[in-house]
Structures are given as structure tokens and as C-alpha cells.
Amino acid sequence: MPQPPGRLSPIQWTICGVAALGFAFDVYELLMLPLIVRPALLTLIGASPGTSAFNLSVGLLFFVPAVVGGVFGLLGGYFTDLFGRRRVLVWSILLYACSALAAGFATSFEMLLVLRCTTFVGVVVEFVAAVAWLAELFPEPKQREAVLGYTQAFSSVGGLLVSGAYFLIVTYADALPAIQGDHEPWRYTLMSGVIPALPLIVIRPFLPESPTWAEKKAAGTLGRPSVFELFRPRFRRTTIVTTVMFACAYGAAFGALQQAPRIVPGLVEITTLAPIQQEQAVGTVQFLQEMGGLTGRLLLAFFAVRVVARRRLLRLFQVPGLLFVPPVFLFATTTSLPVLQFGLFIAGVCTVAQFSFWGNYLPRMYPTHLRGTGESFAANIGGRMIGTSFAMVTTQLTNVMPGGTPTEQLAYAAAVVGLFVYVVGFTASFWLPEPEGSALPE
């Protein structure tokens, strides 16, 4: 790039804006599920919260799209290396935006499940394509670390946006056009996911391809991506350890943090409120949790250019998370709402910051022809498939946990899962390889 490090040209600002928009709505799409799953299932299957049928349906909505997303996300990483970063990035955003719009018209549990699967596919592919694209468009190390860190921080902005959108939609749903003969907030929330497709249609022609990828492709020197190459001696340790640790980070998010919206309506001080006030309380809790996530991502971006050792950088968030996350859920139902809100804020800081860490770390561990595939394997097989399966673990563990109410059982299950994944993730960090240098491998 002709611009000196630290200064961005107009096209570079546009690139950062597109990536930030994509990251924001990735999380917007994912985090709307904890908010809408309860009212959506009440409409579509009619089962009562806390029953085995309800818990199974919740688990399926968290787990099945993640498995489908993981499989197709791995394929998307391969396509990112094969066909280019920009092309895959654009089509993945359009896929999840259109799927979200269609999901608002779901008339059955099965229809909602299928559309959540296609939404998830778009989300997981977009993450991998965007990270590889940004890393190669900003070759200067400190500028690259800052761009990756701060654009990924917009993921948590997406969490704030969906929390705020849900609060507004719940409040003003009756003034919106009827869908399927009613004014159900969960439908409008799903449909709002179409927003990122609108500006993308306008600015797509101005987006450049990764020069590193394009030059190698034109010269015929771009190696062919291969999943099997990830397990050759040069990359085996990186692939295995990052996959395990990615799974643990997502396990904490899906198995613990994202169960909080279902815990809130069961708190003693919330159960006496009117239904609309209960859902507003859920939106507020989610908003504060996402504020914690945004804070964590900003802290990660700040320390990423100041802490050289990657293990040390990651442990700045792992250790406090290990100390905070399990107690937050262990005592969630016996404390006041403000205490729960504060605890979830800290849990969000510690857990969500780790997602930004991997976006900064993984591009430095794989060469150009394998970068998308390597990132995709850790993110999709580890994070999206194995990690998100802890949502199913939590919902099924809830059925056998002690506790006087379904809310207490859910909170205790989330505490157990949170403790397990944090212990495993911290232990695995001792085997995490350090990058060989600040430049991207060729």
C-alpha cells in the first residue's frame, strides 16, 4: 500500500468499513437467537419453558446450525483460498442477510431451523474470508494488528445493536405491519438481519481483492489449499491446539453466556413483571453483556500491539474468565438483577476478547495458499461445531441438575460448562505455538 503506516487512504477506510459491518452483523445474527428462541418456540411448538421438549428444541436451534455452518464453513475457507477473499466475503454476507429475512416468515420449527442453518453458513464463511482479506491488505505488522483488532471490535457492536433493536421491537411491535397475522417481536428481529446486504450492493464494485492472493494467483505460484496439509508436521500442533482452544472459547459463549437471556425471566424480581417488561429486562441484560464483550475486544486491540508474546496476551483474559464466569452462573439465581448484570459484563470482557485474539493470531500461522483453510478449520470445526455444541450440553445437563426451579437448573448447568471449558482452554494454552515473526508467512 502506498500510504505510510498509521494513515489510511479512502479505499482502505472503505475496506475497514465493510469488514466492520460484516463482523458486526455476524454477531448480530448469532446473538439474536438467545433473545428470540423462547418466544419463537412458544409460538412454533407450544411447549412450556423448562420441559424436556422445549430444552431439546433450544439445543437443536443452537447446535444443528453450528454443525451445518462448521461443515460448509470449512468448505468456505477452502473456497476463500481457491477463488479469492473478496468474492467469498461478498456472497457470504448476502447469504446470511437473505436467510435472516426469510426466517422472519417461518411457520414451523423445521423451517426456522433450516433458515438458521443457512444464516449460520453465511456468518462463519464471512468471518474467515474477512480476516484473511484484511490481514493481506494491511501488510505492515502494527497496522495489521490494529486494523484486525479494531474492526473485530465491531462484532460486539453487533451484539449491542441486536440488544437495542430487540428492546425497541418489543416496545413498538404493535405499530409494525403484521406478519403471519400477528405482531410477534421475534419475527421482526430476525428480519432486521437483512440490513448489511443493502450498503454492500452499492459499494461492492469499489472493493479490491487481496493483492497477495491475486499476485500469486496470476503468477501461477499459489499453492492448492488442502485440509490434509494442516496436519503435516509443520502445522499439526498449531491446528490441533487452536482447534481445541477455539472450541473452549465458543463453549464458554454458547454453553454459558448465551444462556443468560433464558435465566433472566426466572429471577424472583422479574417473574412478577408483565411479559413485555420481562422481555425488556432480557434485552437490557444482553446489552450489558455485549458492552462487556465490546470492552474486551477493545482491550485486546489495545494490548495486541503492545504485548509481544501471544500466550501472555491470551491469558490476560483467560485467567480472569476462569475466576469470574463459573461463579456468575452459580449464584445467578440467588442474587439481584444488578449483580447478575455486573457479573455478565465481566464475563463478556473475558470471553469475547478471545474471539478477537484468534482473528489476530491465525493469519500469522499459515501461508497464503492455506490461510483461509487453516483459519476455517480452527474457527469452524473447533469453534462453530465443537464449541457451540456446549449449548446442547447445557440444555441437556439442565434436565439432571439440582435446583428448585428450571431457572436454577439452567444456571447451575451453565456454571459447570463454563468451568469445564475455561479449565481446558487455559491448560491447552501451554502448548500454543508462538508466531515465528511479525510478517505474514508467504
> Per residue in 221-244, pLDDT tens?
766 777 888 899 989 999 999 999
pLDDT grade for 322, boundaries at 50, 70 and 90? very high
Q: How high is the pLDDT of residue 14? A: 83
Instruction: Name, in order, each residue with C-beta under 8 angstroms of 75's C-beta and a sequence gap of 6 or more.
Output: none
Average pLDDT on 414-440 reads 90
Is 3 contained in some domain?
no
Q: How high is the pLDDT of residue 323? A: 92
Q: How high is the pLDDT of residue 351? A: 93
Domain that holds residue 290: 12-203+228-431
pLDDT grade for 362, boundaries at 50, 70 and 90? confident
Q: From 429, 147, 152, select the one nearest 314 (Cα to Cα).
A: 429
Give the chain's domain count: 1
Q: How high is the pLDDT of residue 163? A: 78
Q: How high is the pLDDT of residue 333? A: 66
Residue 297's CATH number: 1.20.1250.20
Q: How far apart are CA 131 and CA 141, in angstroms?
A: 14
Q: How far apart are CA 286 and CA 348, in angstroms?
A: 10
In DSSP terms, 182 is beta-bridged to 179
Is 6 contained in some domain?
no
Residue 84's CB is within 10 A of a number of other CB atoms, namely 19
430 vs 269, more confident: 430
Q: How far apart are CA 59 and CA 66, in angstroms?
A: 11
Lookup: cell for 418: 463454563
- Straight-line distance from the first to the last Cα atom of the chain, in angstroms, rounded to the nearest whole number: 17
Q: How high is the pLDDT of residue 23? A: 80
Half-sphere exposure of 91 (CA within 13 A, CB side): 10
Q: How high is the pLDDT of residue 299? A: 92
Is 216 contained in some domain?
no
The alpha helices in 45-175, defined as continuous H runs, are: 52-83, 85-103, 109-137, 141-172
433 vs 132, more confident: 433
| pLDDT at residue 26 tops 90 | no
Q: How far apart are CA 210 and CA 318, in angstroms?
A: 33
Q: How high is the pLDDT of residue 1? A: 38
Is 346 contained in some domain?
yes
pLDDT grade for 2, boundaries at 50, 70 and 90? very low
Is 436 contained in some domain?
no
Q: What percent of the chain has pLDDT over 70?
A: 95
Is 273 contained in some domain?
yes
Mean pLDDT of the chain: 83
SS3 percent helix, strand, coil of the chain, rounded to 5, is 80, 0, 20
| pLDDT at residue 335 tops 90 | no
Q: How far apart are CA 166 and CA 184, in angstroms?
A: 11
Q: From 358, 356, 365, 357, select the one nearest 439 (Cα to Cα).
A: 365
Q: How high is the pLDDT of residue 114? A: 92
Among the ranges given (167-181, 289-303, 327-341), the one the predictor scored with the smallest mean pLDDT: 327-341
Is 223 contained in some domain?
no
| pLDDT at residue 47 tops 80 | no
Among the ranges given (265-269, 341-345, 396-400, 408-412), the one the predictor scored with the smallest mean pLDDT: 265-269
Lookup: cell for 56: 431439546
Give the model confidence (pLDDT) of 105-123 as tens digits: 988 989 999 999 998 888 8
Average pLDDT on 135-152 reads 80
pLDDT grade for 441, boundaries at 50, 70 and 90? low
Q: How high is the pLDDT of residue 3? A: 44
Q: What is the pTM of this model?
A: 0.75
Q: How far apart are CA 422 and CA 326, in angstroms?
A: 9
Task: Judge contact between 387 and 249, C-beta under 8 A.
Answer: yes
Give the model confidence (pLDDT) of 372-417 as tens digits: 788 888 888 888 788 888 988 998 898 888 877 888 889 899 999 9
Is 214 contained in some domain?
no
245 vs 34, more confident: 245
| pLDDT at residue 42 tops 50 | yes
Which residue, chain included where needed, has cell 444456571?
Answer: 411
Give the model confidence (pLDDT) of 4-20 as tens digits: 455 777 888 888 888 88
* DSSP conformation letters of 377-400: IIIIIIIIIIITHHHHHHHHHGGG
| pLDDT at residue 261 tops 50 | yes
Q: How far is CA 404 from CA 305, 335, 410, in A?
A: 48, 15, 11
Give the model confidence (pLDDT) of 152-173 as tens digits: 788 778 877 887 888 888 888 8
| pLDDT at residue 350 tops 50 | yes
Task: Judge contact between 97 and 196, C-beta under 8 A.
Answer: yes
Half-sphere exposure of 264 (CA within 13 A, CB side): 29
